[in-house]
A and B are shown apart, each in its own frame.
Chain A
């Protein structure tokens, strides 16, 4: 990759080159053993190691985690809000996927 892009001067009054900004990372934290990682926020960092260190300082100052995942935000693909209907509506009318759909006599016991 082209890594010759020299960062521009950061002198105030002029926006710095967007390429000289540390990339954005999304941070996921496992709060307790046995739980899954949960998105907690984002931060800027130069590389993975740096992102994990920053995540520790920014998001776990009060013992909030036992494990950290970081992923560069540009690597995340997301569904688009305009697809919300076609994406999620089809599962709405399938009430038979829920246990309460099935009426059973009380005598059958707990199920």
Chain B
């Protein structure tokens, strides 16, 4: 008999009861609040640090998700750029057929990391969703989704006090 077998528990009748639990958080987006306000105005905003000589790769850094402070030169980052009409591509993607509890009813859905052209993409591969069957937009099949495909941002209508990152989503900007 192995040690493992010797240690098997003898208890066959544990008592199990139910414990509910719910919490409401008042969450602040702090200094990147303009990003979320921007979403409600149908604008995609990022921040840029132009202290390129102090950056590891010698380039300006685009932050998307935005940052109010640069992790490389530690400067405060005050410059916001509007990327709503930028050339944006798919950096990588996955189609989810399962999810955490909140999103289980939404499957299948496609998650993407984006790639904003014209900037170094080290800090700007924002995670979002790609909607492939949006009325009035280019519709594609899930199997046609490709790395490098052109996409464009879209925005759901929500009041400012209910905004979160899911207000933003993307749709194809080119046919496969």
A binds B: no
Q: Which residues of A contact B (CB under 8 A)?
A: none
